[in-house]
Amino acid sequence: FALLIPAGSACDPPGGSGLASVLCDWMTRGAGRRDNRAFSMELDRLGVQHGQTVSAAHLSLSGVCLADNLSAALTLTADMVCRPQLPNDEFEPSVVSVIHELQSLEDDPRQKVMLELVRRCYPSPWGQPPEGALEDLGRLTPDTVRTHFAQFIKPQGSILGIAGRVTLAEVLPAVNAAFADWTPGAPPAMVSGARGPTV
């Protein structure tokens, strides 16, 4: 299964690049009634191979599990988007995690070239890398990221894809129960800017 939420790096505010990536990591560090450790242990107990990524367009949460555990896995995923704890003591580790991702690009020249190509071909914010910039990551605060979560992590435009040994009749009640309290809202419009330098 994969849940795509239209809250990717293109939604990062000016001067706050990397925010979506920090939020994506922070959302996994405790949700619902479970803290970071308990949440991770429950995913492991269910045998869920889970992951999260941020692209320009989407913040994505995905998982692979046995069909019998799908309902419980969807409930945990719903906890991340509807009921994340976003604890203060887990904020800095989330920022550090994104900084490490950004710094690891220095060891991957091919990826650096592709990111630069995207930056030069697409206007801001579509051309900025999901990992953001070091100076912007250093300016993020827990309150800023929580406000962004409240504005952008909404069901409108989100896509939930499920593939496997399940039927719609079987899975729809589980989806409706898991995401019942995911309240709609009106996300603010993104601000578009100029392309990066072309020479």
pLDDT tens-digit series, residues 8-56: 999 999 899 999 999 999 999 999 999 999 999 999 999 999 999 999 9
* Among the listed residues 69, 97, 75, the one whose alpha carbon sits nearest the alpha carbon of residue 3: 75
Helix ranges restricted to H, the chain: 19-27, 36-45, 70-82, 91-104, 109-121, 134-139, 142-152, 168-178
Higher pLDDT: 123 or 2? It is 2
- Give residue-wise pLDDT tens across range 57-74: 999 999 999 999 999 999
State residue 127's pLDDT score. 84
| Tens digit of each residue's pLDDT (9 = 90 or more) over 87-117 | 999 999 999 999 999 898 888 888 889 888 8
- 132: which 2 tokens? 């953001």
15 burial class (0-12, 13-18, 19+ CB within 10 angstroms)? exposed
**What is the predicted pLDDT for the residue at 91?**
97
What is the predicted pLDDT for the residue at 199? 43
From 126, 151, 113, select the one nearest 57 (Cα to Cα): 126
Token digits of residue 181? 């309290």
Q: What is the mean pLDDT of the chain?
A: 91
Asked if 73 and 46 touch (Cβ cutoff 8 Å), the reply is: yes
**For residue 82, what pLDDT is reported?**
96
Query: What does the longest C-alpha to C-alpha distance in the chain come to?
Result: 55
CA distances from 26 to 52, 86, 162 (A): 11, 6, 24
Q: Which helix (H) or strand (E) holds 61?
A: strand 59-64
Q: How confident is the model at residue 185 (pLDDT cuts 50, 70, 90)?
A: confident
- Whether residue 195 is predicted with pLDDT greater than 50 in this model: the reply is no
State the pLDDT at residue 191.
55
> What pLDDT was estimated at residue 98?
96
Rg of the chain over Cα atoms, rounded to whole angstroms, equals 17
Q: Is the pLDDT of residue 154 over 80?
A: yes
Q: What is the dihedral of CA 50, 54, 59, 61, to 10 degrees?
A: 0
Residue reference for tokens 């800023």: 144
